[in-house]
Amino acid sequence: MRRRMPTKGISQIWLDPQPQGLRAVYLVEARDQEEALEVEDLFAELETDLQVRQLCRGKLFSYAVKTQHDQQQTLLELEQALRSNFGFVILHRSFDDVIYKIVSELCVDTGSDLLPMTHCDICGKLEPFPDTVINLADRGGATIASGAYCGVCTAAFAATSNKEFLLSLLHADTRDFSALESAELVRARSRKQDIRFRIQSRAEHAAANN
């Protein structure tokens, strides 16, 4: 049975556009505490330019990164920096099940901690960088729930309008958002790049249709 999501209090829903970019996974072995700190510092610095998700830590450190645009050069520089500073470095130029399995197995072998990972809320695939993110928030903008969807699911639910797209993703979500299906969504103005809708109250809806 699908988990029924509390939808009370939700007054706005928006689609957060995610930039297209290159993905890569890095695995680095830290031989001592000093190297461990160096790796963590290096990836912390990168977060200003790239999206970074840490996959594990311990003796083995692994990160998935996604560039904002076509930052091929940034990835090459990162690879060089890692190879010249650390003895054991693996680079994989995408994020997929194969590399994640390698990371998990090496975590077991080295006694490192595999960190919790986000997944697509429709198909369940591990997804550090979802293609589409939907936020559901209260009047003040505080997030009540959110949905993250992989590229395959995003493409499968492509629709003629943004509203239809958003509702079809929520409908396919493994959690139950059906309470929202009868809501009246009206396009709201937004200062940011997102596509935002406001949930119209029944009274407003009645007034608008009179």
Return residues touching Zn ion (CB under 5 A).
Answer: 120, 122-123, 125, 150, 153
Residue with smaller CB distance to Zn ion, 5 or 147? 147
Give the Cα separation of 187 and 144 in Å (integer). Answer: 19
Q: How near is the Cβ of 65 to Zn ion at its closest, in Å?
A: 21
Q: How near is the Cβ of 41 to Zn ion at its closest, in Å?
A: 33
List strand residue ranges (DSSP E) for the chain, in order: 12-17, 23-29, 51-57, 60-66, 89-92, 113-114, 132-137, 143-149, 184-188, 195-200
Residue with smaller CB distance to Zn ion, 5 or 150? 150
Residue with smaller CB distance to Zn ion, 43 or 149? 149
Residue with smaller CB distance to Zn ion, 55 or 150? 150
Q: Are strands 184-188 and 51-57 parallel, antiparallel or unpaired?
A: unpaired
Residue with smaller CB distance to Zn ion, 65 or 122? 122
Query: CB neighbours (10 Å) of residue 166?
Result: 22
Phi and psi at 122, nearest 5°, equal -110, -60
Q: How near is the Cβ of 134 to Zn ion at its closest, in Å?
A: 13
43 neighbors 52 (Cβ within 8 angstroms): yes
Q: How near is the Cβ of 192 to Zn ion at its closest, in Å?
A: 25
Q: How near is the Cβ of 136 to Zn ion at its closest, in Å?
A: 19
Tokens of 117: 């990972």
